[in-house]
Structure 1
């Protein structure tokens, strides 16, 4: 079984070697038959051992016991023509598959090799080899690291990119039995097998926790494991039972939840977690597929939005009128405390213990920036569609949507949308790839203009009267402001970061000012 990364397709391969395609509601919409390595051997000559969707959800890789991987193009829509676009012949049976990157399929073989197939070049190569059959593969949350479990109990780790963690590659640990149930969580690795134990290992292979069920007569061997997309929950399947383990970040331990027991379910052979974390599918030895709703809690917000907390660090926000969804996730793994929808029901705001999450529901641009212990006293302004303005304790901070760093911070006591102007790449200029500027009041009679991209001050403009309105033009090179006497002035940035007066008017209304800006 496999879920598509875009959450719209769910694939199940039957014992008849037919792939059934379902929508996210569990309704069957399409199907196609798989093929043997050579038609002369017949359709009974192989079994499908594993399958996985491509990152763009338009292809499925099928790993077979007759020493081949077929990649089928299934298209974006139901009913699209199915065609084989890649085939990789191997020297032994394919046991398990991962597709972590666009053109890279990682797979394990009975002969102990872990290999990489490139769908662009149609060539495959060996990543590393062992002397023992590969029985399981697992990736970390980012997909840039893999674990392989082998029949002799060895677990090997490999990184395409260690993301600065400094963790070692190669043989990581030796489990007492074959690690058929292998999962890589955010903070540790969970391993289960035929000894009726689930063991949590640290990143360097040390035992952290052991959950021992060997004295439980109703328990049998653990056959498969799956990690939630956030990496903070692991489900392990056995006979008639699913065991759920949740990571407790404050205590840095795994807590076992109440197991899900289903009489006559029999041995669970496959688990697939939906990429947004909202559903888990379990396949059984007898051909059944069980669909579970994964939800810590569900909240209806303002009778307009449904918020589904699928994990401590992940929330799905769904617009009840349009059906559109946004997955809000803390990439640091922090617990999301509360989600609010502000700015005419368009923008998301959520706090964790150390970060602030912001998002635009219309463009699906999300940000998570460091924000330790503010006490929740911030004021948010959403007048600008590309940047969120946050005012807290005399400091103005700017966060650009889809950027995970604070764009800039300045000290000011004048937090009014009419007294702040931000321009971010609104008009292309020759020789200026990143044009981001901010104009704000230092005091009631002084304007400061800052280049946010370069991080320096472009100058200050002093005036003889109180300023009650200001605005930069799209390029950030002209500044228009008005004072209490209704006098409007315009300044232009010239070489050397000086501001020269170019326009003066005795009286002008707000509507006239905006028309003038449009024409500049």
Structure 2
């Protein structure tokens, strides 16, 4: 992981002008900076200043200089900002979705003690520490706050886990406490984890570990159980000062730690299964780093300093181009930012949920889908809908073939096995054995035109052999029906409800199967084109110079014929009407 300086967002002043807090919005398009004069400055993702607003004291009679801002955090939807203050209150400002909207206070959370640190979890709760040692939670929807736990030691830092389901609190006596606000599949034991040798002002919760650092000039990585896993000791380095702040990358595989004139980055190596220190970033005359924030897509790190300077860095492992159409920025071992080069296009964040290193990313399916690999998984993505999936996958020589004809599901063929992966889901929907890889001989229907009273409806039709069709219920993993035929089948398709099946054989005969009634009937000869009309059970087919339409497929003998010139190439339903395209 290398940090490359991009620009100076705010210039340093001649004297002390401490940057109190910095926060990136979850949607990656806003950056908030709190300055010494209690003003919140708003920047776009390129670091251009767009807006600002002043904060307020709990009571105007005490004056505008009666408090200090100690925490700043965006709401999960990026439309609100929580500000924690030393005059015993948290204000939540509504800033809107576009630049220039009026800033209004939508929540007030008065407290009995000064707020010392603050985070806003993706789960929705505002978590804050206080000078009296309490760690509390605030709900902006109910406008109520409550104490989660109390200690006898000043809260110096808070750090969320990468999933946003739990947090760590660091205290003045060195204690580090772990707490979860919602159930988590990978929950660890709650309560006191360990006691650091100094107040852990620099605290982070990277994936599988805890990082703590402070005035003792030691960066320590602890295990889940609180045992020391790795230690970086700079106590004998006269050029190093105390560590003041830390922030974790969105992937949980890197941590930036700030000190005096220096920014250090520690990253996890999946191949070596250990933490390593990268080349530190020396920043002469920056003085003590007082605030740090990592952009949610992993591509930027922003830091603020004692004299008011705010610097933006690019955090990149490597960058590649795909056919001069997409830029792929590896912002961590298991996280890649994939962005089209077209102006105005937004990218997607490809991330391995298992923490495996992504070593190959390809854009496929007319540049609408992506396929990436790790040593143990395959990642799939629909770029148009920003739906990403990661499924466990055994290494098989990378001979898989991917088909993207179905907009809801990806078909993966490998060594005689067909696997189905729904975009946006992290499990394989189903797998079957078949040797026939032609997508025209496979049909998948997933809750299309679903009836209100219907159960989960996911069906697959495929060829067992060239004369046998197998129909599978993917919800229960059971075979519903097998259809045998006297000639080789070259095309098949289920209707949207999965209750009927059409197939055509090499002799150009079209056959209808009623799956629920277990009935099979031949309905057309010399069939050169056939298609279900989208959103209905109407069938359109061509036989020689006739356009054949079944408006009620339950009565297949009732067919409407139209004489046409040319060949049908497509049936399109849009704006309440259906069109048949001829060539």
Class of the TM-score when normalised by the shorter of the 2 chains:
over 0.9
Which 10-residue stretch deviates more, 440-449 or 429-438? 429-438
Deviation at 1:60, TM superposition (A): 0.3
What SS does the corresponding residue of 1:246 show, helix, strand or coil?
A: strand
Q: Deviations over 1:74-122 (max 9, x none)?
A: 0000011110000111111101111114541100000000001111111
Equivalent residue for 1:157, pick from 160, 167, 178: 178
The equivalent residue for 1:207 is 228
Equivalent residue for 2:76, pick from 21, 45, 55: 55
Q: Aligned in 2, Cα 1:512/1:257: closer, same or farther, shift over 3 Å?
A: closer
The equivalent residue for 1:256 is 277
Separation in structure 2 between the aligned mates of residue 157 and residue 305 of structure 1, nearest angstrom: 41
Q: Deviations over 1:29-60 (max 9, x none)?
A: 11110000100001011111111000000000
Deviation at 1:165, TM superposition (A): 3.3
Give runs of aligned pairs for residues 457-476 of structure 1, distance below 5 A.
457-476=479-498
Q: Relative CO higher for 1 or 2, CA cutoff 8 Å, sep ≥ 6?
A: 2
Q: Deviations over 1:247-296 (max 9, x none)?
A: 01232211000000011010000000000100000100000000000111
Contact 1:244 1:257 (C-alpha < 8 Å) held by counterparts: yes
Give runs of aligned pairs for residues 147-226 of structure 1, distance below 5 A.
147-161=168-182, 163-165=184-186, 167-226=188-247
Separation in structure 2 between the aligned mates of residue 118 and residue 77 of structure 1, nearest angstrom: 24
The equivalent residue for 1:294 is 315
Deviation at 1:73, TM superposition (A): 0.4
Separation in structure 2 between the aligned mates of residue 68 and residue 166 of structure 1, nearest angstrom: 31
Separation in structure 1 between the aligned mates of residue 33 and residue 24 of structure 2, nearest angstrom: 9
Separation in structure 1 between the aligned mates of residue 173 and residue 366 of structure 2, nearest angstrom: 59
- Aligned-pair RMSD on alpha carbons? 1.4
What SS does the corresponding residue of 2:540 show, helix, strand or coil?
A: helix
Deviation at 1:511, TM superposition (A): 5.0
Contact 1:201 1:207 (C-alpha < 8 Å) held by counterparts: yes
Separation in structure 2 between the aligned mates of residue 123 and residue 430 of structure 1, nearest angstrom: 38
Equivalent residue for 2:296, pick from 271, 275, 281: 275
Separation in structure 2 between the aligned mates of residue 39 and residue 339 of structure 1, nearest angstrom: 56
Q: Deviations over 1:196-241 (max 9, x none)?
A: 1000100000011110001111000000001000000011100000
The equivalent residue for 1:304 is 325
User: Are 2:540 and 1:515 equivalent residues in the alignment?
Assistant: yes
Separation in structure 2 between the aligned mates of residue 205 and residue 256 of structure 1, nearest angstrom: 21
Contact 1:461 1:499 (C-alpha < 8 Å) held by counterparts: no
User: Are 2:501 and 1:479 equivalent residues in the alignment?
Assistant: yes
Give runs of aligned pairs for residues 58-457 of structure 1, distance below 5 A.
58-101=79-122, 103-161=124-182, 163-165=184-186, 167-321=188-342, 322-457=344-479
| TM-score, with structure 2 as normaliser | 0.87
Gaps of 5+ in 1: none
Q: Deviations over 1:167-189 (max 9, x none)?
A: 21111101111000001110211
Separation in structure 1 between the aligned mates of residue 550 and residue 462 of structure 2, nearest angstrom: 20
Q: Aligned in 2, Cα 1:518/1:203: closer, same or farther, shift over 3 Å?
A: farther
After TM superposition, the runs of 4+ consecutive aligned structure 1 residues lying more than 3 A away are 511-514, 516-520
Gaps of 5+ in 2: 1-21, 533-538, 542-548, 554-583
Contact 1:54 1:102 (C-alpha < 8 Å) held by counterparts: no
User: Are 2:491 and 1:491 equivalent residues in the alignment?
Assistant: no
Q: Aligned in 2, Cα 1:491/1:108: closer, same or farther, shift over 3 Å?
A: same
